[in-house]
């Protein structure tokens, strides 16, 4: 027997546990409707919250950038891959976030990985919420720092950790601003207070807040009025901005340190020019069209109400429908696709065991009819396949 027989064993185990993952193939671009197997279905699972991924302005900006700079940056930024376009985007991001400087990474995942590993190491402590995104968790582990986790949004537990860890050289608290699988918002005011009181560094991941929350779309930290109290602001250009890439913003020395120490910045090719151009167009729209955020909020509340949940205090576009068992979530998801709604099952290890779910995510460009129809199907599916 080949030493590779473990591949089949592992795959069979995933299948028998209902945890096997496979991809659906889209034959259209991103939008409120997408084409699968020759059929248009309502897409209720995209992070393209503002519908920017299909906007003409972004497409044209990508084309223009490709015409001027070509398709690839050709090298890492520190070698010959640093284009004026990258610097313009970073200036725009810094100005958007109201911070001194910003740095772009090829993905949000890499922004978290490179930044956390540049800020803490063996002598240090990194503290995170239990439901933080996988890229943060991986970064905390890889950094070599001591890693402590507090139960979701449990501020007493966070303070206990801070009180008992004064021996460390540096302490970094890191949290999602909007939790990616639950759609709730971190208690940033309380976290800021604890960080200040106990002299810890604070990093906030606005992957799902950027473009979505706050009067100007700067995220949950703007919505909660704590922007200037956060040391390390991280966000992505891959979700509401409809492009690709991650960024960190903050004071100039922070950005200088990242340029010198973040391995996911140093040892990778600069962002491709078309993506960079499109991201600038996205920032412009996020600035100029606040009504998109308003429509997204209304759509999010419509779905919450239609599913029988109360209005959320801060209505994010992420609405989890927790089913429980992985098998039930998979069956419900298959039923929904058959009925015309794309909504894949989210299972462990993405979410804790026993909390498999459908993660509804709403777009500003969904019509009310699309959302109402999909909610009706979800409710019908829940009565058939059971909820917790
Ligand atoms: C999606 C996500 C990321 C990673 O961003 P990409 O740009 O997709 O790599 C990081 N943090 C959170 C909270 C996310 O949801």
Q: Residue 84 catalytic?
A: no
- Nearest C-alpha to atom 7 of ligand 1 is from which residue? 108
Q: Looking at residue 1, what is its pLDDT?
A: 65
Determine whether 324 is exposed, middle or buried from the number of CB atoms within 10 Å of its CB (0-12, 13-18, 19+). middle
**Alpha carbon separation from 361 to 23, 141, 264, 309, 348 (Å, rounded):** 18, 29, 29, 15, 19
Q: Is 264 in the pocket of ligand 1 (CB under 6 A)?
A: no
Convert the pLDDT of each residue in 181-239 to its tens digit.
999 999 999 999 999 999 999 999 999 999 999 999 999 999 999 999 999 999 999 99
Question: How many whole angstroms from 259 Cα to the centroid of ligand 1?
Answer: 20
Convert the pLDDT of each residue in 341-352 to its tens digit.
999 999 999 999
Q: What is the mean pLDDT of the chain?
A: 96
Q: Looking at residue 247, what is its pLDDT?
A: 98
Give the separation between CA 196 and CA 191, rounded to whole angstroms: 9
Q: Which of 99, 135, 143, 180 is catalytic?
A: 180
- End-to-end Cα separation, the chain, in angstroms: 43
Q: Residue 366 catalytic?
A: no
Average confidence (pLDDT) over 158-169? 98
Q: Is 108 in the pocket of ligand 1 (CB under 6 A)?
A: yes
Q: Are strands 356-361 and 345-346 parallel, antiparallel or unpaired?
A: antiparallel
Q: Is 135 in the pocket of ligand 1 (CB under 6 A)?
A: yes
Q: Looking at residue 311, what is its pLDDT?
A: 86
Question: How many whole angstroms from 149 Cα to the centroid of ligand 1?
Answer: 19
Instruction: Find out whether 36 and 27 touch, Cβ atoms under 8 Å.
Output: yes
Give the separation between CA 318 and CA 297, rounded to whole angstroms: 11
Q: Which of 86, 133, 153, 208 is catalytic?
A: 208
Q: Looking at residue 285, what is its pLDDT?
A: 98
Q: Which atom of ligand 1 is least distant from the CA of 135?
A: 10
Q: Which two tokens stand for residue 105?
A: 């990474």
Give the separation between CA 365 and CA 33, rounded to whole angstroms: 10
Give the separation between CA 235 and CA 211, rounded to whole angstroms: 10
Give the separation between CA 72 and CA 175, rounded to whole angstroms: 33
Q: Is 107 in the pocket of ligand 1 (CB under 6 A)?
A: yes
Pocket test for ligand 1, best of 108, 136, 237 (most atoms within 8 A of CB): 108
Q: Residue 5 catalytic?
A: no
Q: Looking at residue 290, what is its pLDDT?
A: 97
Give the separation between CA 28 and CA 264, rounded to whole angstroms: 31
Give the separation between CA 233 and CA 209, rounded to whole angstroms: 11
Q: Looking at residue 385, what is its pLDDT?
A: 83
Pocket test for ligand 1, best of 239, 264, 317 (most atoms within 8 A of CB): 239
Lowest mean pLDDT among 89-93, 263-267, 345-349: 345-349
Average confidence (pLDDT) over 87-97? 98
- The residue behind tokens 């065991």 is 353
Q: Which atom of ligand 1 is least distant from the CA of 179?
A: 13
Q: Looking at residue 230, what is its pLDDT?
A: 98
> What does R_g of the chain's alpha carbons equal in angstroms?
21
User: How many Cβ atoms are within 10 Å of 34's Cβ, its own excluded?
Assistant: 19
Q: Which positions ≥6 away from 387 have C-beta within 8 Å? A: 321, 322, 323, 324
Convert the pLDDT of each residue in 35-86 to its tens digit.
999 999 999 999 999 999 999 999 999 999 999 999 999 999 999 999 999 9
Q: Is 112 in the pocket of ligand 1 (CB under 6 A)?
A: yes
* Reported confidence tier of residue 387, pLDDT bands at 50, 70, 90: low
Convert the pLDDT of each residue in 299-336 to its tens digit.
999 999 999 998 889 999 999 999 999 999 999 999 99
Q: Looking at residue 18, what is its pLDDT?
A: 87
């Amino acid at each position: 027997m080949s030493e590779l027989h473990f591949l089949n064993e592992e795959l069979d185990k995933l299948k028998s546990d209902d945890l096997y993952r496979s991809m659906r193939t889209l034959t259209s671009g991103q939008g409120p409707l997408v084409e699968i197997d020759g059929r248009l279905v309502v897409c209720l699972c995209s992070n393209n919250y503002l519908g920017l991924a299909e906007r003409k302005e972004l497409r044209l900006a990508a084309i223009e950038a490709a015409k001027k700079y070509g398709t690839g940056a050709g090298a890492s930024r520190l070698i010959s891959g640093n284009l004026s376009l990258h610097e313009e985007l970073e200036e725009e991001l810094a100005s958007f976030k109201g911070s001194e400087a910003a740095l772009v990474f090829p993905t949000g995942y890499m922004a978290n990985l490179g930044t956390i590993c540049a800020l803490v190491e063996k002598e240090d402590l990194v503290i995170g919420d239990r439901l933080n995104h996988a890229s943060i968790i991986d970064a905390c582990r890889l950094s070599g720092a001591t890693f402590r986790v507090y139960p979701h949004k449990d501020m007493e537990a966070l303070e206990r950790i801070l009180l008992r860890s004064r021996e460390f050289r540096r302490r970094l608290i890191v949290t999602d601003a909007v939790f990616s699988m639950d759609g709730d918002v971190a208690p940033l005011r309380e976290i800021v207070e604890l960080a200040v009181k106990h002299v810890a560094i604070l990093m906030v991941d606005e992957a799902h807040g950027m473009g979505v929350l706050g009067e100007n779309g700067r995220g949950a930290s703007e919505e909660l009025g704590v922007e200037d109290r956060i040391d390390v602001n991280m966000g992505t250009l891959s979700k509401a901005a409809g492009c690709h890439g991650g960024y960190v913003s903050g004071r100039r020395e922070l950005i200088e340190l990242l340029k010198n120490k973040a391995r996911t910045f140093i040892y990778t090719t600069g962002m491709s020019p078309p993506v960079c151009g499109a991201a600038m167009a996205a920032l412009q729209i996020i600035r100029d069209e606040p009504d998109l955020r308003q429509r997204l909020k209304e759509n999010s509340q419509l779905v919450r109400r239609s599913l029988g949940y109360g209005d959320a205090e801060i209505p994010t576009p992420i609405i989890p429908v927790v089913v429980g068992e992985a098998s039930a979530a998979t069956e419900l998801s298959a039923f929904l696709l058959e009925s015309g709604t794309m909504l894949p099952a989210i299972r462990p290890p993405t979410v804790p065991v026993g909390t498999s779910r459908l993660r509804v995510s709403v777009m500003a460009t969904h019509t009310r009819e699309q959302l109402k129809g999909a909610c009706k199907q979800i409710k019908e599916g829940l009565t058939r396949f059971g909820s917790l």
